[in-house]
Amino acid sequence: MDVAAARHCLAGHDAICNMAEARYDFSVLLSAAMANGQTTVLPPSRATAAVAAALDGWRSPLTVKALSDIGLERLNSEAHAENQALPKLTGQVHVFTSGSTGKPVRHLKNWRSLADGARLTAEIVASAGLEQVDTVMLGTTPHQHMYGLEAAIFAGIAHGYCLHDATVFFPADLERAVDEATGQGMSDVVLVTSPAHLRFLEETIVTLPQIRCIISATAPLHRDVARRLEASGTRKVFEIYGSTETGSLARRRSAETDLWTPLDGFRIVGRGDRWFASAPHLHATIALADDIDLESDGRFRLLGRRGDMVRVAGKRQSLGGLNAVLSLMPGLRDGVILSEPGADGDQLSLFVVTNGEKPADLHALRKAVRAHMLGYVDPVFVPRHVHIVDRIPRGDTGKISAADQVVMMSAARRGADQAAPKVAGKRE
């Protein structure tokens, strides 16, 4: 048993920094560390500085990127067969927030909290009418982050779903992974992804009927996108709402409703102007980052992130909602609307990566953006400042760190629209 063998190899270290990209290696290393009572550290990014900061304070940490790093080959553990019975999994996992609203913050998780969070993924797959024996989970999101950890790792190791080993990124990766899964006899694929990834995978997804269920999180998914993905009638699209603090909290069928249904056990209550969530598997009551509209049956609508609301000309709008609208615009490879305070309210700036060459001036692009946005939002929320960039510095989950947002806005104020700011991107 690989977990039993890995336990011996990890012994003697107080923290295991699990950087494995392959889901099998990651799952084995995580299970072994938890069985040893060790702490698993999952840095917010693969950047050297981020890893060093996450490991600061540990006496003897070990960073592992694959089972081969500790001298193990897969399924080659006969030497430790007598130790296959695992003890109680007492180790903790340190997961970090993405840093999109500030400095990444560490949160402690245990086996129960992660397994219970993954229960929402299992409920979604069951509600899509898929049988566990025929279904494989395929992810585009990194499993070092909370969403990917629950939906693409613990759905397998705690709830019995088959996991595809690779993390897909490009359309060709997706086609290859689906072919591999169906070649192994798995007829149904569940894609665990995000709106940022769906933007450039959508055209490929609709050609792959084997993808029967799509789960999206980390940012709002516009209903029009969900409906396009469901147009064949054989695929269902769901969103998960949650956070690093709460784990997966609620789900909705994106094409049909704006109401979120909480995972059984969660209780949401309002106190003053804040909303709080509690559940048996959480160590404490958690303050939610969003304002919500709670229905009498326990379902709720998201009204916007507390730090995400922009105010222009006396009107309020969710920045996440504006970016969901932007994601529908044809001809953009990527784009993001950012905000900063101004004398007469928040100032909105748009950064776009186009599919073609940069035009001689921005007039045509501004006109196209305005025409698109006016189909969905009040005119005051159409960004006045448009900047063409080479790329958007998104992290692995599709989010942009607060530090990178500052760099982008600073460059925009200097009129530096010739190229994207030189900041960390997806592959660092």
Q: Tokens in use for 349? A: 């700036």
300 and 322 inside one domain: no
Q: What is the pLDDT of residue 424?
A: 37
Angstrom distances, CA of residue 98 to CA of 50, 198, 364, 399, 400: 11, 19, 35, 7, 8
How far is residue 274's CA from residue 287's CA, in Å, rounded to a whole number? 7
**Domain end among 307, 341, 367:** 307
Whether the predicted pLDDT of 24 surpasses 70: yes
**Domain end among 30, 64, 91:** 91
Q: What percent of the chain clears pLDDT 70, i.e. is strictly above it?
A: 91
Q: Which residue has the higher pLDDT, 422 or 43?
A: 43
Asked, for residue 422, whether it belongs to a domain, the answer is: no
Q: What's the domain count of the chain?
A: 3
Q: Over range 38-50, report the average pLDDT.
A: 93
**Domain end among 91, 121, 146:** 91
Distance of alpha carbon 157 from its chain centroid, rounded?
19
Q: What is the pLDDT of residues 112-146, one digit of tens each?
A: 999 999 999 999 999 999 999 999 999 999 999 99
Asked, for residue 159, whether it belongs to a domain, the answer is: yes
167 and 286 inside one domain: yes
Whole-number average pLDDT of the chain = 89
How far is residue 164's CA from residue 150's CA, in Å, rounded to a whole number? 14
18 and 31 inside one domain: yes
Q: What is the pLDDT of residue 288?
A: 94
Q: What is the pLDDT of residues 226-277, one digit of tens each?
A: 999 999 999 999 999 999 999 999 999 999 999 999 999 999 999 988 999 9
Contacts of 274 (CB under 8 A, 6+ apart): 287, 288
Q: Which domain holds residue 259?
A: 108-307
Q: Over range 295-322, report the average pLDDT.
A: 88
Whether the predicted pLDDT of 410 surpasses 90: no
Contacts of 273 (CB under 8 A, 6+ apart): none
**What band does 155 get if pLDDT is binned at 50, 70 and 90?**
very high
User: CA 306, 309, 313: angle at the middle one, nearest 5?
Assistant: 145
Q: What percent of the chain clears pLDDT 90, i.e. is strictly above it?
A: 65
Q: From the CB of residue 228, how many other CB atoms can be counted at a distance below 10 Å?
A: 17
69 and 169 inside one domain: no
